[in-house]
Amino acid sequence: MALPTRDEAWTIVQEWITNEGLRKHVLSVEAAMRAYARKYGKDEALWGITGLVHDMDYERFPDMTDAENGHPRTELRLFQEWGWPEELIHAVAAHAEHMGVEPQTLLARALRACDEITGLIIATALVRPSKDIRDVKVKSVKKKWKDKSFTAAIDRNEIAHNVEALGEDLNDHIALVLEAMKGIAQELGLDGRLAAGG
């Protein structure tokens, strides 16, 4: 089945997602997934686009208890209709644990591992005086990881479980995802412009 180009996928994502925070999240996950694809010698386009589209319908259909349209059910139907790769569809289904789909591929396990950690990293960058992700170190993220009141909605145990299932060390995982996100600091608006009032 045909994989969309990156430009095609991003155009669709922008049609579905208007919230800037959610856009930054999917861009972060895309960057992390591309980094893992390079590490594992996998298809970077497939891995990156999977990260980019994984939350496409969340803004419109956030009620995950909606058994017909709730995230990610709507996007999964569309991906099938559009003839997108089964491996992408499986990974997106598996990233939402309430769907009960076991992550049977390395792609699916990587998506689970990269999803929530990006939020912690963005939040860590935003509390720095510089508001520049390029100033963030792994130890800064780990310090915020231990502070359970910081981004309390982010489940540290779930992240640790998913990173272990991927077969990665947590510190190495944070380092890889952080470096990937630093590479798109400008797209994320985490290049110091917020501190400068830009």
What pLDDT score does 136 carry?
A: 98
169-188, pLDDT tens digit by residue? 999 999 999 999 999 999 99
What pLDDT score does 65 carry?
A: 85
Contact between 94 and 112 under an 8 Å Cβ cutoff? The reply is yes
Q: Is 189 left (phi over 0), alpha (psi -120 to 50) or beta?
A: left
Residue 195 domain flag: no
- CATH number for 131: 1.10.3210
Residue 46 domain flag: yes
Residue 1 pLDDT level (bands cut at 50, 70, 90)? low
How far apart, in whole angstroms, are the C-alpha atoms of residue 112 and residue 64?
Answer: 17
pLDDT value at 198 more than 70? no
Residue 12 pLDDT level (bands cut at 50, 70, 90)? very high
Residue 98 domain flag: yes
- How many domains, the chain? 1
Residue 198 domain flag: no
Three-class SS state of 191: strand
Residue 97 domain flag: yes
Residue 196 pLDDT level (bands cut at 50, 70, 90)? confident
How far apart, in whole angstroms, are the C-alpha atoms of residue 55 and residue 40?
Answer: 23
pLDDT value at 103 more than 80? yes
What pLDDT score does 111 carry?
A: 98
138-155, pLDDT tens digit by residue? 999 999 999 999 999 999
What sign does the CA torsion over 161, 166, 170, 174 have?
Answer: negative
Residue 167 lies in domain: 6-188
pTM higher than 0.85, yes or no?
yes
In the chain, % of residues over pLDDT 70: 98
Residue 92 domain flag: yes
Residue 194 domain flag: no
pLDDT value at 167 more than 90? yes
DSSP 112-158: HHHHTHHHHHHHHHHTSTT-BGGG--HHHHHHHHH-TTTTTTS-HHH
Residue 88 domain flag: yes
